Structure 1
Amino acid sequence: MKNPIQMFCITLNPNHLQKIKSLNYLPVGLGDKKFSKEWYQDNINENISKKNEYYGEYTFHYWLWKNYLNKLEDGWIGFCQYRKFFVKEKTSIKINEIESLAKYVLQDIPEDFEKYDVILGDEFKVNKLKISKFIKRDLKKILTNPSLLFDKNKRNLKFHFDMWHGNGNLDKAISLLTNEDKKHFNDFVNNNTSFNPHNMFICKSKMIIQNYYNTIFPWLQKCEDIFGFNKNADYGGKRMYGFLAERFLSYWFQKNTKFKTLPILGLDINNL
């Protein structure tokens, strides 16, 4: 027996409505554009919608946490994006229409997944990036520790975050966690070279999502108090709260739930 998913699909484009609905997904509209009443939005009732350029999709997660999670029917609840989708298996077939995409995206939970609490995206390995990217990003850091070029295990999550989202910022953020998470998350980013990407996840129950939100948002608020908001930063610096959450998501769900991973298909529905 298969179990349906309440899958929220997040976009910035009101023109995506029919495409998202054709996948049997719930449309979520973020940003300043005008969305009809058919959309879930992050800018009504208690919200942090104005922080979207810094938080990304987490402005919707905040809205859901504060306003709507308790109204959802309990069961499998998930989150994807207009250009990132969970699929049952990897495919090399070229998809050029929304009807074809609907055949591949995850729309229900197979029976053998019922023993898991959470589905995450297949891991993304940060130490497999081309060396030239690291050198271009921060030559000085490489020169001070040349072994990074030859030992892939040293190019861990901590190193990668420092490179792309501000040197030392991850350490400062970790210092704001509760003692248990502080130690375990620090170990996670220093001992791992991969994470589950794109802030995408599917949970078996509302309680799991609630527990995650109850942990992530108070921490991000503490991070705001020391980092603030820098409109002049590059994308990796400006969207730092979303990237902090992305790394923490991998740690938290791996630590606290029984999880399985599935491939994530990168396909922008603007092109369909």
Structure 2
Amino acid sequence: MEKENSKLEIFCVTNKRLKFLENLPYKLCWVGPFEAPQNYLRSDTGINIFAKEKYYSELTFQYWYWKNMLDLKNKNWIGFCQKRRFWSKENKDLNNLNADITKDILIHPKKEWENYESIICDPIFINDIKKVKMIKRGYKSILKNPLPFFSKKKRTIKFHFDMHHGYGNLDKAIDALDNKDRNEFKNFVNENSSFNPHIMFISKAEIMNKWFQDLFEWLFECEKIFGFEVLKGYDTTRLYAYLAERYLSFWFKKYTKNLNWKWIFYDSQDI
């Protein structure tokens, strides 16, 4: 049963029009190089990092929201989703989606949240890797430590990140992290084989503010290491978003009482 008096504000970040959401109480948020549709929130006004959108992806809007819209007096639940990934209405696996996807996605806060401070995506596991791919993309890691080649338990967040987003980049980034999290986050990525994906979360304003403070302070330090010119292709163009995705899993587990929640992949054909 949902609490009648509680409210949920969902901001859906997109670079394409999502007509099927336009009649829902979602706030549609525009990123990307093209002109925003009418009534979509833009992220190129006020205090913004819009010029870095290519590298920060949906974080471009989240930063804008933090600097220009976040009200610490707001007592509602506030959350983010993105153009192809949405919060599920119920925290259970859906075998088949409704023809009308809006019947399956979250609109109102849930009673199950009452004793929690944050909602994060159900985790994904990244240790089911074909050996041929490990040889092709992870040979540097395997030469240093061959155990991941033979044991799924040793295929950690760090091993996966080194394979797909630049060998050693995660270690360099963690070295730039504040002392209060550095060693614990390093242990987290070296010991875990799953993380909570998509930079999606739901929380109250006070927690959101603390998260954004820690996140962007770190990412701006990372800019001094990686810059932008060398970030190219799938592997590293969105490096700052990939880093944030891993840090989110650690941060919300360390600093909040969190609940994992189901999410839905849906690729709208709206044009």
Relative to the length of structure 1, the TM-score reads 0.91
1:252-267 superposed matches below 5 A = 252-267=251-266
Is 1:5–2:8 an aligned residue pair? yes
Residue type at the aligned position of 1:268:
D
Residue type at the aligned position of 2:9:
Q
Deviations 1:68-125 (A, max 9, x none): 11288431001001100111222121444xxx21111111122121111111111111
Which shows bigger deviation, 262-271 or 238-247? 262-271
Residue type at the aligned position of 1:111:
K
8 Å contact kept, 2:199–2:245:
yes
- Closer/same/farther in 2, CA of residues 254 and 54 from structure 1, 3 Å limit: same
Deviations 1:166-199 (A, max 9, x none): 1111111111112120111111111111100011
Residue type at the aligned position of 1:5:
L
Instruction: Name the counterpart of 1:159.
Output: 159
Deviations 1:114-148 (A, max 9, x none): 11111111111111233333233233533553321
Instruction: Name the counterpart of 2:215.
Output: 216
Residue type at the aligned position of 1:84:
R
Instruction: Name the counterpart of 2:84.
Output: 83
Deviations 1:239-269 (A, max 9, x none): 1000000000110000000011111111112
| RMSD of Structure 2 on Structure 1 (CA) | 1.9
> Helix, strand or coil: the match of 1:225?
helix
> Helix, strand or coil: the match of 1:268?
coil
8 Å contact kept, 1:9–1:20:
no
Q: Which runs of 5+ in 1 are unaligned?
A: none
Aligned length: 266
Instruction: Name the counterpart of 1:123.
Output: 123
CA distance in 2, matches of 1:133, 1:34: 39
Runs of at least 4 residues of structure 1 off by over 6 A?
none
Q: State the identity as a percent.
A: 40
1:271 is displaced (CA, Å) by 6.2
1:35 is displaced (CA, Å) by 1.5
Compare the two structures and name the one with the higher helix fraction.
1
CA distance in 1, matches of 2:255, 2:231: 37
Relative to the length of structure 2, the TM-score reads 0.92
8 Å contact kept, 1:230–1:238:
no
> Helix, strand or coil: the match of 1:202?
strand
Instruction: Name the counterpart of 1:184.
Output: 184
